[in-house]
Amino acid sequence: MNNLVEGLQASLFATSAEHSSSLLVTETPAYTTPYGAAYLGDSREFLAKLPEGSVNLIFTSPPYALHFKKAYGNVDKADYVEWFLAFAREMFRVLADDGSFVLNIGGSYNPKVPTRSLYHFKLLIRLVEEIGFHLAQECFWYNPAKMPVPAEWVTVRRQRIRDSVEYVWWLSKSPFPKADNRQVLRPYGKDMLRLAQRGVRSTVRPSGHAIRSSFDKIDNGGSIPPNVIEDEIPTDMLTLGNNSANDIYTKRCKESGIKIHPARFPAALPEFFVKLLTNEGDVVLDPFAGSNTTGSVAEQLERRWLAVDLVEEYLLASRFRFGGVEGSYSTPERAGLLR
């Protein structure tokens, strides 16, 4: 961080409002909002400075172990688990006893062959057996807009099918993390509404499950969601998909000539888990924040938030998600771009 950034960040720090999570750390944030603070730097160092038990939810998507290196520097598969565990130890420490760590991680192919790597499963096992996390539930992000890759196996030789889910490991510090599925209920589906109209007779299914006549009562406020989280179904997959080309962030990036973050997740993903696992005022941390989708969701839901990213351009552009937030600029050129 150069002095100019530090100076500007220091002035921003003074703008932090009463809720701001920047009060948790002594570092100077790159920007603050009424509920949160975003920091430029290595999250491993940042995590080490956070007090023990101070975070209610860590929601993140780190760089995956891909053999195509992305712009922000993915680690090779062979080294990935060791690399990640160094962060995970600190994550475990900073989580509250009833806190959760939700990790979005994509699968990948082994180099040069049409077989899948086990790296994300190996990571999961070590997070539980070595670091001490509990696997609260394995969830999935259904992303129909994922590219049909590797082209060699999917579109050229036609030997594999399109990959359209990513893993979302919901881990927790204790076996009983704070969670309330009533905070993520969905409207009842047509089948459930029809059932409620017709009524259900008490019966035992061939599977042995007893269906009570109360099964058809739809007075619980909504249906309990499955562990597959979907983005809104795009009306035009080519232009929308996961990339929500029309959202405020991408619009402002394009207007300012700033590179759009290449690996954003949809707001629906953090939104689901922030609602499920936290209450207003709780602290949500994204240590690999990128365009800070997590922070902007937390802000809207009135949770305090902390975000960290290593790349200045991503972090500064992420302010576009917060409208009127004041910025900090490392150079006058950037100031011109970002204003």
Ligand X SMILES: C[S@@+](CC[C@H](N)C(=O)[O-])C[C@H]1O[C@@H](n2cnc3c(N)ncnc32)[C@H](O)[C@@H]1O
Residues that bind ligand X (CB under 6 A): 42-44, 61-63, 72, 261, 263-265, 288, 290-291, 293, 308-311, 314
In the complex with ligand X, the residue whose CB is nearer, 146 or 175, is 146
Contacts 24+ apart (CB under 8 A), 65-70: 65/108, 65/117, 65/119, 66/106, 66/108, 67/108, 67/109, 67/111, 70/262, 70/263
Judged by beta carbon, residue 142 or residue 188, the one nearer ligand X is 142
Considering the complex, what minimum distance in angstroms separates the CB of residue 276 from ligand X? 18
Is 296 or 328 the residue whose CB approaches ligand X more closely?
296
211 vs 248, beta carbon nearer ligand X: 248
Residue 140: CB minimum distance to ligand X, A: 16
Q: How far is the CB of 77 from ligand X (least distance, A)?
A: 16
Task: Write phi, then psi, for 128 (nearest 5 degrees).
Answer: -85, -50
Q: In the block, which residue shows the tokens 């351009």? A: 313
Burial of residue 218, with CB atoms counted within 10 A of its CB: 0-12 exposed, 13-18 middle, 19 or more buried:
middle
| Tokens 């309990």, located at residue | 224
- What span, in angstroms and rounded, lies between the C-alpha atoms of 88 and 43? 11
Say if residues 269 and 294 touch (Cβ distance below 8 Å). Answer: no
Using CA atoms, how far residue 190 sits from 170, 187, 193, 195, 214, in Å, is 29, 9, 5, 9, 18
Of 1 and 310, which has the nearer Cβ to ligand X?
310
Shortest Å, Cβ 106 to ligand X = 9
**Residue nearest ligand X by beta-carbon distance:** 290
Minimum distance, C-beta of residue 194 to ligand X, in the bound complex (Å): 38
User: In the complex, what is the shortest distance from the CB of residue 208 to ligand X, in angstroms, rounded to a whole number?
Assistant: 42
Q: Report the residue number, 115 or 164, with the smaller CB distance to ligand X.
A: 164
> Do residues 132 and 92 touch, judged by C-beta distance below 8 A?
yes
Cis previous bond, 175, omega within 30 = no
